[in-house]
Structure 1
């Protein structure tokens, strides 16, 4: 995850000096802050990790469980899979993704990865070269920054615009791009913002990328998790305008992040990625990697073919319900501003009104003190590129969500400026 410089307050005893830590490092330190409470009077409520398996409110599909069990018990999938993935899994994923496209993907377009995390790293590694730069969203998913730093790729950021539903600032993209820009990254549905891009906006993104001469990396790990009426449109729909690398996984839609089943897919009907040198580069790079367990890959065709629509509908209904709860509770906390109600994914960004808080210096200070005093874990916006904001994961049990946000309100009231308390 992204490395960020954090000046940690010695009063809170998280560290004695400025540290460079990752998102997982943030979460670990926040949990340590909870542990230092010591009294155990409040259960820990985590609204900081995008792992829906932490609650039974988001169950797994019985079809998926059965398919994996059968593949494992068949004893036919104990060996190594081909480095690009089992052929039957690649075919199934190509057919699954093609349902929403105006053209048909081939299994040759699909490479199986160890979750979307590996797909992200592969996409950056494949494009890295001396002097290259990549254009990323802010706020965004920090793994891109970390992967780019390891590959020596310069990172440039465009802003997402909360007043426009977290749309891409396309003017900024045009200003940032140059002849060394290797990719424009978008995340849709959005993590951490919870936005879902319209067909029209995605088309404009494709046209902008074409104009500046770069490809699009479309992170669609939350694909189809759109619950506010605006449909999910895959970026691959615009593959005839600009080449698209689509990254995705089973993790979120099927509620199985621990299975680490992801994909790296070339959406390119014009054939840019069909260049023999490019194709050979892909194949050689995947020879270096290890993919998901073979029996997990073997289960993919059955999972895709037989998962019932009612399972997906239940997940969407549950996400809509907890997103509504989250927004309702946040309206009752004047110290936090919610600029845009989430439309998809499992996360949202909210802004701290620090002018109403008297002893909170920034978002990091807020989150550490909140963890210490209320045993509630929320990720500071600094971790995803936006200072003095917070990322809240709402994909959790509704009872825990309500309790957690009521604790946030109590925390804010204790730390409120006295004049703000009297004027509310």
Structure 2
């Protein structure tokens, strides 16, 4: 699991595939597989995209106007619509020239790191975090330096660590908000401090907001671009999570930078040339973007948030019934949460990876070992699932705990 090079970096999809394979190799469990490992809400019937989005894509496809290539930076109408959508929450207006269409947020991540890469450069990544950043950084020869998030402070960024780890070769700090994998939502004041620290250090901020607006706790979602006048911000996002269409692969890379740090003609030309070698999303998907962004009813978003909140509460409460796992912070957003694993209460489990593979083989429940997101002996649980599946999954996890619990500890407790 150690990451000594790009080819050795573990991916979430890779380890989930291995977990599923381990279930299939057992081939003797009558239990249906319940996966709480992948952040794909469309896998459960309680999460469906809005009819507006489906109709917009259908209309664009059937119009016969969007079967050809789109401009490499994206259709103008899609770029303009995304600029207007993001501007709703900013103290300034974006233009279509600030927006570049990508094939999902993953491609936006790769673009950001490719644009920043130079010999000897390093980048600050959150830990736990999204492993694609490390993978992309390794391919770009960017040194990775990890900033630990603080579980006892709502997974806030350790700003002292940011300052200590940064040097003249640091190019950017990555901020994921709402948080994946932690389920946290950063407040205005914390983000302001992050922006001020980045300005002090002379680095820019990459704001991963793929879960933008998926905040259902007491802390409202604040886009990092609000602080674009303090520090240059590259905002990355997509339709995937908020509209429940991850397979559509429609993302964006946006320069939320009102002071114009990215407006240098040479920088713009470099962006455009890099996009010339990329393949963006299907043209008809891009063509549907203006309708999707402008006509989706707020009730659709409220329903999604309500479902996520209820699901997160089920997980948070059921975890309390299982002594070997503990949730340090009640989820307030996104679709996942981090859970601490207490190995002292288990007599034949060596670490988080062992826990997840044995759980998969014995109970057909898939959750992600924390090692995959940078935090050993923790677990990432995705709560974007229907309530009955969550209840059944935690029933099985509880049985698994009882089967593997340290009986000596149980006797002492009794």
Structure 1 counterpart of 2:236:
247
Are residue 413 (structure 1) and residue 402 (structure 2) matched? Answer: yes
- Verify the 8 A CA contact 1:223 1:232 in the aligned structure 2: yes
Q: CA deviation at 1:229?
A: 2.2
Structure 2 counterpart of 1:146:
135
Distance 1:91 1:190 in 2: 27
Q: Which runs of 5+ in 2 are unaligned?
A: none
Structure 1 counterpart of 2:260:
271
Q: CA deviation at 1:32?
A: 1.2
2:348 pairs with 345, 359, 374, which one? 359
Q: Which runs of 5+ in 1 are unaligned?
A: 7-18
Distance 1:90 1:268 in 2: 16
Distance 1:37 1:421 in 2: 30
Structure 2 counterpart of 1:103:
92
- Verify the 8 A CA contact 1:4 1:383 in the aligned structure 2: no
Structure 2 counterpart of 1:191:
180
Query: Between Structure 1 and Structure 2, how many residues are aligned?
Result: 410
> SS of the counterpart of 2:113?
helix
What do the CA deviations read for 1:233-282 (whole angstroms, capped 9, x no partner)?
00000000000000000000000000000000001111100011111111
> SS of the counterpart of 2:262?
helix
2:329 pairs with 340, 344, 360, which one? 340
Q: CA deviation at 1:33?
A: 1.1
**Moved beyond 6 Å, runs of 4+:** none
> SS of the counterpart of 1:273?
coil
Distance 1:337 1:38 in 2: 31
Structure 2 counterpart of 1:12:
none
Structure 1 counterpart of 2:74:
85
**Residues 32-41 or 278-287, more deviating:** 32-41
- Verify the 8 A CA contact 1:4 1:22 in the aligned structure 2: no
Structure 2 counterpart of 1:375:
364
The root-mean-square deviation of aligned C-alpha atoms, in Å, is 1.1
1:178 pairs with 167, 171, 176, which one? 167
What do the CA deviations read for 1:112-148 (whole angstroms, capped 9, x no partner)?
0000010000000010000010000000000000000
> SS of the counterpart of 1:274?
coil
- Verify the 8 A CA contact 2:10 2:131 in the aligned structure 1: no
1:204 pairs with 189, 193, 209, which one? 193
TM-score, length-scaled by structure 2: 0.98
Q: In the TM superposition, what are the counterparts of 1:2-401 in structure 2 within 5 Å?
A: 4=2, 21-401=10-390
Q: CA deviation at 1:40?
A: 3.5
Distance 2:294 2:260 in 1: 29
Q: CA deviation at 1:298?
A: 0.2
Q: CA deviation at 1:420?
A: 2.0
- Verify the 8 A CA contact 2:9 2:134 in the aligned structure 1: no
Distance 1:385 1:5 in 2: 10
TM-score, length-scaled by structure 1: 0.95
Distance 2:219 2:326 in 1: 23
Distance 1:254 1:229 in 2: 22
What do the CA deviations read for 1:2-37 (whole angstroms, capped 9, x no partner)?
x7469xxxxxxxxxxxx8643222111111111122
- Verify the 8 A CA contact 1:37 1:372 in the aligned structure 2: yes
> SS of the counterpart of 1:411?
helix
